Amino acid sequence: MITIQGYIKIFIIFIAATAVLYLPIFFILKKKGHGLTRSLSYLFCFWSFSLIIYATTIFLNLPFNFKPVLHKLNLQPLLWLLEDNLRQRIAIEIIPNIMLFIPLGIFLPTAFKRMRKLKRTALVAFILTFSVEFFQYFIGRTSDIDDAILNVLGGIIGYGLFKMFSYSYASRTSQAGLLRANTPIYKEYI
């Protein structure tokens, strides 16, 4: 049986290996004129997808059992709000489900211009979470509508953070450009 430390070591090795294997792709993108932010966002987007798949299907679930004794499916949303151990449930399940998809909501629109609309990012988050929940049902883990809702919420929060960062970055660079353009030293060189 693999311990939690073993899973963490495996994931760290995976992150390091993909970073090394990504270097040639990074240099090719740099040659094509892609900026550092966009080039690295492809890697971070891949890591986000990998983390989601790893945490929801592989982590603590090896070996896979495609003939589980019991299939668990919850299609009643937000029942956890009525439970007695609400604080524990929030700390163990709710917050991690939201946080798991926040990086995807940030890096997906950063990496791909076509994903810079909320509907598209939310749709990708939904398709990914639906696929994971569908797969979990067949390997003996619980498929839960709450997980799907919270995962999509995390993707939307990540998208909101992306928009906030991009507006902040755009306003800082445009203000800096205006300040540079109005200085006498800059005007001399035009």
pLDDT given for residue 101 in this prediction? 93
pLDDT given for residue 1 in this prediction? 40
Averaged pLDDT, 91-97: 82
Residue 47, number of CB atoms within 10 A of its CB: 20
Q: How many residues does the chain have?
A: 190
For residues 129 and 60, what is the distance between their CA atoms, to the nearest angstrom? 18
Averaged pLDDT, 64-76: 71
**Position 89 confidence tier, pLDDT thresholds 50, 70, 90:** confident
**Which segment of 52-66, 157-171, 176-190 scores lowest on mean pLDDT?**
176-190
**Position 6 confidence tier, pLDDT thresholds 50, 70, 90:** low
Residues 6+ apart with CB under 8 A from 168: none
Structural domain boundaries in the chain: 4-188
Averaged pLDDT, 3-12: 70
Question: In one letter, which amino acid is 169?
Answer: Y
List Cα–Cα distances, 98 to 30, 57, 90, 147, 173, in angstroms: 33, 16, 10, 8, 31
pLDDT given for residue 178 in this prediction? 44
Residue 134, number of CB atoms within 10 A of its CB: 11
Segment 109-132, tens digit of pLDDT: 998 999 999 999 999 999 999 998
**Is 55 in a helix, a strand, or coil?**
helix
Closest to 137 measured CA to CA, from 64, 79, 80: 64
For residues 25 and 78, what is the distance between their CA atoms, to the nearest angstrom? 43
Q: Where are the alpha helices (DSSP H) in the chain?
A: 4-31, 36-53, 86-89, 95-111, 118-138, 145-181, 184-188
Averaged pLDDT, 61-77: 69
Segment 151-176, tens digit of pLDDT: 999 999 999 999 999 888 777 766 55
Segment 130-154, tens digit of pLDDT: 998 888 888 777 788 999 999 999 9
pLDDT given for residue 3 in this prediction? 59
Segment 10-55, tens digit of pLDDT: 778 878 888 888 888 888 888 888 888 888 888 888 888 888 887 7
Task: At 174, list the tokens.
Answer: 């445009």
